[in-house]
Amino acid sequence: TSGERTAKAERMFELMDGFLKNDPLSLQKDILDHVEYTVARSRFSFDDFEAYQALSHCIRDRLIERWHDTQLHFKRKDPKRVYFLSLEYLMGRSLSNSIINLGIRDQCADALSQLGFEFEVVAEQEGDAALGNGGLARLSACQMDSLATMDFPAWGYGLRYQYGLFRQVILDGFQHEQPDYWLNFGNPWEIERVHVTYPVKFYGTVEEEILNGEKYKIWIPGETIEAVAYDNPIPGYGTRNTITLRLWAAKPSNQHDMEAYNTGDYIDAVVNRQRAETISSILYPDDRSHQGKELRLKQQYFFVSASLQDIIRRFKDVHKDFNKFPDKVALQLNDIHPALAIPEVMRVFVDEEHLGWNKAFDLTCKIFSFTTHTVQAEALEKIPVDLLESLLPRHLQIIYDINSYFMEELKKRIGLDYNRLARMSIVEEGAVKSIRVANLSLFCSHTVNGVSKLHSELLQTRVFKDFYELWPEKFQYKTNGVTQRRWIVVSNPNLCALISKWLGTESWIRDIDLLIGLREYATDISLHQEWQMVRRVNKMRLAEYIEATSGLKVSLDAMFDVQIKRIHQYKRQLLNILGIIHRYDCIKNMAKDDRRKVVPRVCIIGGKAAPGYEMAKKMIKLCHAVAEKINNDSDVGDLLKLVFIPDYNVSVAELVIPGADLSQHISTAGHEASGTGSMKFLMNGCLLLATADGSTVEIIEEIGEDNMFLFGAKVHEVPTLREKGSTIKVPLQFARVVRMVRDGYFGFQDYFKSLCDTVEGNSDYYLLGADFGSYLEAQAAADKAFVDQEKWTRMSILSTAGSGRFSSDRTIQDYAEKTWGIEPCRCPL
Ligand code: CBF
């Protein structure tokens, strides 16, 4: 793209050069130095992977330079900072992204090519950092990119899991999980800070001490584990600002070892060392429910405690007066997973800083904001009181204190409405007495955010209705967004160059609103030709990948119809598969001549099922069983193919999304909080086939209903349909395709029985039957539009043009202004 880069942009990146230079020759020298001294291979003989390692270290050096400058600048200016607490980050690969953000893609490619390497091949060597499950985790990664690019003084905090999200291996069509020991080949993107460590306490007892005549609580821990910081510099695009994602790893505390050594128990000391490390060893692979697991709770507290010690230490380095804390610190809870930060802050303020309960609580309520990412009740974690009492005894006391205060406040507002008091209480009575983490977060945060307009409405009218009625002013929403740097510039370089060419500027990479300028050319025939060419090349890339992973050859003339996301009943991959069976059935029953009218399709499905989620695993198997039948049927040929892409992750998404013609976002209305996959497809000019759920509602507002294929029950219709249950008239085609599965047409009759049961009669909770008719209509509309390539291309251009509102830059700007109260703090060039 540099050929088309404007002189202004070129100058901006030049100015950003630091001590290390970024011309190809300097880069080449640095690469060779790293080959020799870091990778310890001969500079005369090294392979692609070693080239990747050396180049990564070369880029890391440049990141470190900027990162130091940024941190120094923040320190000097002492702005209010936002601290983003999240248990999950799905960073994917870092090399290309960093190089793009540093503005040195072409220089690196030149440097490598003169050494006999190809940039793309070298970049492919990198594995994914998969420290998260799905949407929430990738959102955190996109938001970090935007925070850095927009110069906000921000820190991300999380856990450095040794095992990321499991690798999905498919054997005979069944999902198997394999551990993802992602650190096996080293991780050049992190810097271990052996001196940044904090003790994190667990278990033990709470005692009282008297200090200057005042009584204080003191927590005597039963176990102490050390948190060690690993810093991951996150570079912004077109700025020198490089912020920190600090991930904590658990290490045994020395003190513990010493005691064991003193008693001569060397073996136990070593075993304890390993036990301590388990806290940060594994990411929970379920993106919904984690109720009552001790290790999960330990992870939550571990990262929260270490982060808060770090944050308070940074504050105290400069300030003495805690009244200033809310002016300098915004704490963002990414979902309720980090909610133990609330009692932890209270504990530090009351027990350690001796601020007094009222002052402490007042400050606490001023610093926390919380975003919920779900509408599913099962994802609202509850902590059994017994568990909390044993693991964090002081925190339980604090939560009880907060709840008493809360109940008193409530009574002033609603009187003695005991049902409502019980519903809203932070403590849930019952067979298993538990702490409702969401209620704690709601009460103690100044702002509660939803992740789309519809989600926010559902929070207000259903999930958190009681709270909304009393504190409507707390409720906001910030529709999710994704970063165009990763999802266009890195993953679709040809489209990126094309957009810049037609807009006459690269500025849209930082200022996404400019994308709207493409609307002007939506009917321009030369743009159409170039647009189609770019899309075809991307399809070619995807077709090669499909052939390499599944051995299946697919036609580039077919419509590439994609559904990639976690496998869930509410996301309705089953609806998609049943639709594919219907398509297959139609082709089979058609006269040969009529088959010529069929629009060829390559249906692509990918996603992981949580290891214990039986129905999701059955859907994966069904997809394979149906694929086996269709792909080997000579009556069908290229008219229909079905592919399951294994081990879906961020880098696979980067390849699949640019090559998709159509993408499906077909959750039952009211179940997807936002959805961010749709935004990535939209940016890449892919057309959407979707229900009016989550952020799709806003996508419709932006690009218009005519520019996509909409179907299905609306959110307000869902409850009535559910009530109707088995009396709903489902189309005959639906009954037929379900019967085909039931009758063993695709084999595994017994195995699929329970899956079929979930979509029949009163059991069809996700309304597949009710939506099937309109789903088929939307599919037919997509076929019709695809035949008219001019129309399709126009719709595709308009999709990209209308995607600006769904950039994470917009989301972050909203958070900064309306929730965190922070301002940019740009490091001088
Ligand atoms: O807000 C980001 C995403 O989070 C989820 O993935 C989640 O894990 N709770 C939701 O399911 C998505 O709707 C949402 O876009």
Residue 277: predicted pLDDT: 87
The reply to whether 470 and 321 lie within a common domain is yes
Q: Is 373 a catalytic residue?
A: yes
Rounded percentage of the chain residues whose pLDDT exceeds 70: 97
CA 277 / ligand 1 centre spacing (Å) = 29
Please check whether residue 827 lies inside any domain of the structure. Answer: no
The reply to whether 472 and 603 lie within a common domain is no
Please check whether residue 408 lies inside any domain of the structure. Answer: yes
From the CB of residue 414, how many other CB atoms can be counted at a distance below 10 Å? 14
DSSP state of 557: T
Residue 33: predicted pLDDT: 98
Question: Which atom in ligand 1 lies closest to the alpha carbon of residue 451?
Answer: 1
Residue 174: predicted pLDDT: 98
Two structure tokens written together for 299: 């992870």
Residues 287-306 pLDDT 10s = 777 677 899 999 999 999 99
Q: For ligand 1, atom 9, name the residue with the nearest CA.
A: 373
Q: What Cα–Cα distance (Å) separates residue 198 from each residue in 190, 233, 275, 291, 712?
A: 18, 20, 18, 27, 52
Residues 734-756 pLDDT 10s = 999 999 999 999 999 999 999 99
Residue 258: predicted pLDDT: 62
The reply to whether 360 and 239 lie within a common domain is yes
From the CB of 673, is ligand 1 less than 6 Å away?
yes
Q: Is 571 a catalytic residue?
A: yes
The reply to whether 593 and 455 lie within a common domain is no
Q: The CATH number of the domain where 733 resides is what?
A: 3.40.50.2000
Residue 7: predicted pLDDT: 72
The reply to whether 295 and 443 lie within a common domain is yes
* Confidence bin at 114 (pLDDT 50/70/90): very high
| Ligand 1 mutation pick, 375, 650, 672, 676, max ligand atoms within 8 A of CB | 676
Q: Indicate whether 599 pLDDT > 80.
A: yes
Q: What Cα–Cα distance (Å) separates residue 235 from each residue in 1, 34, 139, 144, 491?
A: 20, 21, 17, 9, 17
Please check whether residue 432 lies inside any domain of the structure. Answer: yes
Q: For ligand 1, atom 2, name the residue with the nearest CA.
A: 136
From the list 676, 691, 800, 819, the catalytic residue is 676
Question: Which atom in ligand 1 lies closest to the alpha carbon of residue 373?
Answer: 9
From the CB of 799, is ligand 1 less than 6 Å away?
no
The reply to whether 463 and 584 lie within a common domain is no
From the list 566, 582, 608, 624, the catalytic residue is 566
Q: DSSP secondary structure string, 404-436?
A: HHHHHHHHHHH-S-HHHHHHH-SEEPSSS-EEE
Q: Is 413 a catalytic residue?
A: no
Question: Which atom in ligand 1 lies closest to the alpha carbon of residue 676?
Answer: 15
Residues facing 181 on adjacent strands: 163
User: Closest Cα to residue 697, out of 482, 457, 377?
Assistant: 457
| Ligand 1 mutation pick, 86, 290, 373, 449, max ligand atoms within 8 A of CB | 373
Question: Which atom in ligand 1 lies closest to the alpha carbon of residue 672?
Answer: 13
From the CB of 480, is ligand 1 less than 6 Å away?
yes
CA atoms within 13 Å, Cβ hemisphere of 295: 12
The reply to whether 161 and 256 lie within a common domain is yes
Question: Which atom in ligand 1 lies closest to the alpha carbon of residue 695?
Answer: 15
Rounded percentage of the chain residues whose pLDDT exceeds 90: 92
From the CB of 380, is ligand 1 less than 6 Å away?
no
> What is the b/e burial string over 548-572, where b = at least 16 CB atoms within 10 angstroms of the residue's CB?
eebeeebbeebbbbbbbbbbbbbbb
The reply to whether 470 and 568 lie within a common domain is no
From the CB of 137, is ligand 1 less than 6 Å away?
no
Residues 660-698 pLDDT 10s = 999 999 999 999 999 999 999 999 999 999 999 999 999
Question: Which atom in ligand 1 lies closest to the alpha carbon of residue 335?
Answer: 9
Q: Is 535 a catalytic residue?
A: no
Q: Is 805 a catalytic residue?
A: no
The reply to whether 472 and 590 lie within a common domain is no
| Alpha-carbon gap, residue 666 to 221, rounded angstroms | 49
User: Closest Cα to residue 66, out of 286, 236, 210?
Assistant: 236
The reply to whether 581 and 458 lie within a common domain is no
From the CB of 672, is ligand 1 less than 6 Å away?
yes
From the list 5, 565, 621, 794, the catalytic residue is 565
Residues facing 606 on adjacent strands: 564, 645
From the CB of 287, is ligand 1 less than 6 Å away?
yes
CA 8 / ligand 1 centre spacing (Å) = 38
Number of domains within the chain: 2
Please check whether residue 72 lies inside any domain of the structure. Answer: no
Two structure tokens written together for 628: 């086996």
Q: What Cα–Cα distance (Å) separates residue 459 from each residue in 179, 442, 486, 700?
A: 36, 11, 30, 21
Whether the complex's predicted ipTM is more than 0.95 is answered with: yes
Written as one letter, the residue type at 15 is L
CA-based R_g, the chain, Å = 27
| Ligand 1 mutation pick, 84, 87, 139, 455, max ligand atoms within 8 A of CB | 139
- The SS3 assignment for 665 reads strand
CA 675 / ligand 1 centre spacing (Å) = 6
Helices (H), 445-594: 453-458, 465-470, 484, 493-503, 525-550, 573-588
Q: For ligand 1, atom 6, name the residue with the nearest CA.
A: 135
Please check whether residue 424 lies inside any domain of the structure. Answer: yes
From the CB of 374, is ligand 1 less than 6 Å away?
yes
- The SS3 assignment for 628 reads helix
Two structure tokens written together for 531: 């647009």
Please check whether residue 570 lies inside any domain of the structure. Answer: yes
Domain of residue 763, residue span: 558-804
Residue 253: predicted pLDDT: 81
Two structure tokens written together for 465: 């209705």
Q: For ligand 1, atom 4, name the residue with the nearest CA.
A: 136
The reply to whether 292 and 166 lie within a common domain is yes
From the CB of 139, is ligand 1 less than 6 Å away?
yes
Residue 259: predicted pLDDT: 63
Residue 1: predicted pLDDT: 41
Q: Are strands 223-235 and 191-202 parallel, antiparallel or unpaired?
A: antiparallel
User: Closest Cα to residue 59, out of 188, 205, 194, 244?
Assistant: 188
Please check whether residue 309 lies inside any domain of the structure. Answer: yes
The reply to whether 179 and 302 lie within a common domain is yes
C-alpha torsion sign, points 482, 486, 491, 495:
positive
| Ligand 1 mutation pick, 144, 448, 608, 674, max ligand atoms within 8 A of CB | 674
Residues 450-509 pLDDT 10s = 999 999 999 999 999 999 999 999 999 999 999 999 999 999 999 999 999 999 999 999
CA 372 / ligand 1 centre spacing (Å) = 9
From the list 680, 794, 805, 810, the catalytic residue is 680
Residue 34: predicted pLDDT: 98
| Alpha-carbon gap, residue 592 to 599, rounded angstroms | 14
CA 375 / ligand 1 centre spacing (Å) = 9
Question: Which atom in ligand 1 lies closest to the alpha carbon of residue 138?
Answer: 2
* Confidence bin at 272 (pLDDT 50/70/90): confident
Two structure tokens written together for 644: 């399951």
Q: Indicate whether 270 pLDDT > 90.
A: no
CA 421 / ligand 1 centre spacing (Å) = 29
Residues 532-585 pLDDT 10s = 999 999 999 999 999 999 999 999 999 999 999 999 999 999 999 999 999 999
Residues 386-439 pLDDT 10s = 999 999 999 999 999 999 999 999 999 999 999 999 999 999 999 999 999 999
Residues 191-222 pLDDT 10s = 999 999 999 999 999 999 999 899 999 999 99
Please check whether residue 507 lies inside any domain of the structure. Answer: no
CA 673 / ligand 1 centre spacing (Å) = 6
